[in-house]
Amino acid sequence: MGDEQKISWQELLANSRRDFEAGTDFTVAVEEEFALLDPPTLELTNRFEEIYAAALETELAPNIVGELIASEVEVRTGRCDGFGEAAAAMQERRAQIHSLARDVQLGLGGTGTHPWSRWQDQRIIDTPHYRRNDEVLRYVVWRNNTFGLHVHVGINGADRAIAVHDALRNFLPEVLALSASSPFVEGVNSGLHSARTEIFTRMFPRCGIPDAYRTWQAWEDYVAFLYRTGSITEHTQVWWSVRPHLAFPTVEIRIADAQPDLAEAQSLAAFGYALAVRCARAYDEGETLPDVPGRLLEENMWRAIRYGLSGELLDFERGEPVEARRRIEDLLVWVAPVADEIGAAPFLAVPDRNAAERQIARFQDGASLQEIYAEQVQAGEPAGSRSDG
């Protein structure tokens, strides 16, 4: 995330509304964040500037950015017209960043947290944007050594984008449960399936499940209030787990943990994309969309953080808990009418075990955090580059 263009916030909001009104429906872009690792030890290492400089000489250059700490790198698919294109771009970006990392003798981690490296040892990258966040947030930003996967979905129409945003709020816990990959942090088994969410979402301001805005004007009024009162100085300081993006005419889903495995990353991104498109279609056709109060969604958010895909989520229509897997399978049925059209259907699946469950099972079998993390790092390597197949 770079610095904003030098325009006023009033112009920013006016431009964003205009861009949504003229926006293209159902484009998709995926962003993946990876840990930069010292290969012998698998410790986080502050070498972003080095890998970024190397990337400037390659085709990856337009799609690599820094993300807060110097032991992290983000790669982006860029805008795609359907999920088949996005999935291919995800595979290509991963191949590119892994090749580059090998060239500069770095490893890459794909879980939502690093299992043992200390946040005190990580350096914030030296850009105006991150210097400002450091000045404002202090310990909150220092502590945020986390890695996620974000999905941008293009939506035409400003009020329609808000309707999609409001509907997606209701499904954030399901997306998180499917994505959970971060049970270990600070050298311990946290007992959570997504320690990343507890660190990032629970500590940052304007983060987690937002209110429903109902109309574009209400969203615009909220952002204007934040600017007028000095609560924010740039729009990227609105960190909600789903948000209408003010630089692109997209609704961005930001709740998911990073994924070690490419196929699971593609499946997760396809799920978020299909949910957004299905919400848009429901809005167009007058279908009633869920409108669950935040206080109840928070119950599911906690369940997803604590138990991930292994636990239960509340089905608010039935008024009872159901297995998280069953809840996600029900949503896969719900998105099926659009999944084929947008190229997502071949990628949609619920794994037998997600990344958090696999790591927890290995820990219960007696494996060390170092052994488990080494397995996750290897799982993220492109097949042709793995040392033992």
Q: How far apart are CA 167 and CA 175, in angstroms?
A: 13
Distance CA 188, CA 93 (A): 31
The reported pLDDT for the residue numbered 6 is 76
Extract the tokens encoding 305.
């953080």
The answer to whether the CB of 293 falls within 8 A of the CB of 282 is no
Average pLDDT (188-207) is: 96
Q: What is the pLDDT of residue 383?
A: 79
C-alpha to C-alpha distance for 240 and 205, rounded to whole angstroms: 9
Look at residue 166 and tell me whether its pLDDT is greater than 90.
Answer: yes
Say what the pLDDT of residue 139 is.
94
Confidence bin at 5 (pLDDT 50/70/90) = low
Residue 129: its pLDDT value, please? 87
What's the mean pLDDT in 11-17? Answer: 97
Contact assessment for residue 270 and residue 87, using Cβ atoms and an 8 Å cutoff: yes
Average pLDDT estimate for 27-47: 98
CA 143/CA 122 separation, integer angstroms: 9
Average pLDDT of the chain?
Answer: 95
Mean pLDDT, residues 322-343: 98
Q: What is the pLDDT of residues 167-188, one digit of tens each?
A: 999 999 999 999 999 999 999 9
- Residue 388's pLDDT band (cuts 50, 70, 90): very low
Q: How far apart are CA 65 and CA 44, in angstroms?
A: 17
What pLDDT was estimated at residue 385?
62
Q: Is the pLDDT of residue 384 over 90?
A: no
At 149 the three-state DSSP class reads strand
pLDDT per position as a tens digit, 301-317:
999 999 999 999 999 99
| 3-state SS record for 153-213 | EECCCHHHHHHHHHHHHCCHHHHHHHHCCECEECCEECCCCEHHHHHHCCCCCCEECCCCC
Q: Which CATH fold would you assign to the domain 9-381? A: Creatine Kinase; Chain A, domain 2 (3.30.590)
Question: Would you place residue 4 in the very low, low, confident or very high pLDDT band (cuts 50, 70, 90)?
Answer: very low
As a whole number, mean pLDDT of residues 58-75 equals 96
CA dist 294 and 210 (Å) reads: 8
- pLDDT higher than 90, residue 72: yes
Cite the beta strand spans of the chain per DSSP E.
28-37, 64-67, 69-76, 107-109, 148-154, 184-185, 188-189, 207-208, 239-240, 242-244, 250-257, 312-315, 320-323
Residue 3 has pLDDT above 60, yes or no: no
Distance CA 118, CA 380 (A): 22
Position 47 scores a pLDDT of: 98
Poorest-pLDDT segment among 130-139, 256-265, 353-362, 370-379? 130-139
**DSSP state for residue 118 in the 8-state scheme:** -
Q: In the 8-state DSSP scheme, what is residue 341?
A: T
CB atoms inside a 10 Å sphere around CB 229: 8
